[in-house]
Amino acid sequence: MTGRFIAVVGPSGVGKDSVMEAMANRDPRIGLAKRVITRPSTAGGERFNGVTEAEFQTRKAAGQFALSWAAHGLHYAIPVSVKAQLQNGQDVLANLSRAALIDSKACFAQFDVFNLTADRAVLAHRLEARGRETAEQIARRLDRASAQLPDGIEAFDIDNSDALEQTVQIALNHLYPVKA
């Protein structure tokens, strides 16, 4: 059976990549979409494919992206290879912009959304602790924290203010309900 494409959205620093990675480690039915980003691969954090702006545009023109968007002064894409993962029956998690949800819904037959939330103070603390962005970049990311989901998009909301393990369990229970 074809897998589900699950968009994981929420403000920068809320824990999208951490939750996704922990879910994939817990359950073999889950695969991760590896994003292509115009950020040096040495920047750390999630596993992503870092490319130059020119390389990004070349790959986009060659049809190598299922989805792409711009945010935080960077370009991001989900490679078309996710379709093979889905055809192999994996449920695929992808860290997506809330602004890319409409395109994403149109692109994938089986589509779900996890919307992660956390208090602004928690976000600020996590972004500082992650240490990847400057103070100014962090301030701009926090300004986007309250962005709403587009009309017509239904999401499963999960508060990731507390322990990561708790969030992961709630998300897994939602994806794979235990039959009584």
Ligand X SMILES: O=P(O)(O)OC[C@H]1O[C@H](OP(=O)(O)OP(=O)(O)O)[C@H](O)[C@@H]1O
Ligand Y SMILES: Nc1ncnc2c1ncn2[C@@H]1O[C@H](COP(=O)(O)OP(=O)(O)O)[C@@H](O)[C@H]1O
Select from ligand X, ligand Y, none the partner in contact with residue 98, using the beta carbon and a kind-dependent cut-off of 5 to 8 Å. Answer: ligand X
Sign for the CA dihedral angle at 44, 48, 53, 55 comes to positive
Rule CB under 6 A: say whether 17 interacts with ligand Y.
Answer: yes
Question: Rounded CA gap, 110 and 89, in Å?
Answer: 11
Examine residue 16 and tell whether it contacts ligand Y (CB under 6 A): yes
Distance between CA atoms of residues 50 and 171, nearest Å: 28
Region of residue 63 (phi > 0: left; psi between -120 and 50: alpha; otherwise: beta): left
Site for ligand Y, residues 121 to 140, rule: CB under 6 A: 126, 129-130
- In terms of CB distance, is 85 or 95 closer to ligand Y? 95
Cβ–Cβ under 8 Å, residues 107 and 147: no
The number of beta carbons lying within 10 Å of the beta carbon of residue 69 is: 18
Binding site for ligand X (CB under 6 A): 9, 12, 16-17, 45, 71-72, 74, 76, 95-99, 144, 147
CA dihedral 43, 46, 49, 50 (to 10 degrees): -20
Nearer to ligand Y, 83 or 130 (CB): 130
* Those residues with Cβ within 8 angstroms of residue 132's Cβ, 6 or more apart along the chain or in another chain: 43, 44, 45
Nearer to ligand Y, 83 or 144 (CB): 144
**Closest separation between CB of residue 160 and ligand Y, Å?**
5
Pick the closer one to ligand X by CB: 26 or 48.
48
41 is in an annotated binding site: no
Binding residues for ATP: 10-17
> Which residues of the chain form contacts with ligand Y (CB under 6 A)?
12-18, 45, 95, 126, 129-130, 160, 163-164, 167
Binding residues: 10-17
